[in-house]
Chain A
């Protein structure tokens, strides 16, 4: 009986630690930026370096921001010698893995911009993980576009 209680406590502890360590809000996100957009453009891209410093894999599924209607994760890809991009519905980041959201690789896609993004503007972006947790970041808009 005592053992059973001990195991139950241990199991609870493991469940607890899973919830704690795989939380999206503990992701290390550095240098988030976006580029200024032309008035006619209704899409934007956000870039940063993301490292999963937690001890478990997390799965990013999208996000939200006040500056656009929709937020999606996209990845640049080549197909038949042509360049395009793919909407990634889930991006798994293993424990300890670094994922580059950089031009030509992954980017967070802002769709339905409410206003053009202006240089020096800072806006909030919330990255959403599959478990419902979120990582809130601030994005700086650069005039330089590469």
Chain B
């Protein structure tokens, strides 16, 4: 009997500890589940300056007044980048119907400023939607901006006729109309899922 009681107490204790651990590990119950991450508090961004095709600077001010979707890629990327940009194009069409009141902006930032000028970036995104913005800039500025958005990238191997390939985080960053980083979509970027997740994001927090 003594043993049984001790076993029960140990079991009860274990359950309480387990519940404690689980409740800390799980996000707050009000936080929606999306394919990616969503912050419980929007994250302010440090100042940055990128360059547009018409020679203007693209700064924090350009993120105000609308939602912004940002993808980091490069034009020598034949597989993942055109897929992601196409998916953003489809997402934009979808959101025109499902979130018609929201102002939206779509931006692609190069992780390969050595080869991708702002002009090349704009011509690249025009292929998908001329309303999209293609940006390049000073390598250090791009790196600092990407870091704020948890996007990493680096040079890969050079034994290819392309010269070199780039490795980069394949996420789509979402900035709210106050210019704050609120969420990021992980790949695969299925437009239908992203559209559903976006509706959750605009209602939260």
Contact = CB atoms under 8 A, between A and B. Distances in A.
Contacts of A37: 82, 127
Contacts, number: 99
Interface string B126-143: 111000000000000000
**Interface size range on A against B:** 35 or more
B78 interface: yes
Contacts of B166: 84
B4 interface: no
Interface string A74-95: 1010011111111100000000
A82 B146 CA distance: 13
Given A145-B82, A146-B87, A83 B168 contact: yes
B75 A107 contact: no
Interface of A: 35-45, 69-70, 72, 74, 76, 79-87, 103-104, 107, 109-112, 144-146
Given A43-B76, A104-B80, 17 more contacts: A35-B82, A41-B124, A43-B75, A69-B161, A72-B160, A80-B152, A82-B152, A82-B154, A82-B167, A83-B168, A86-B156, A86-B157, A103-B79, A104-B79, A110-B78, A112-B161, A146-B87
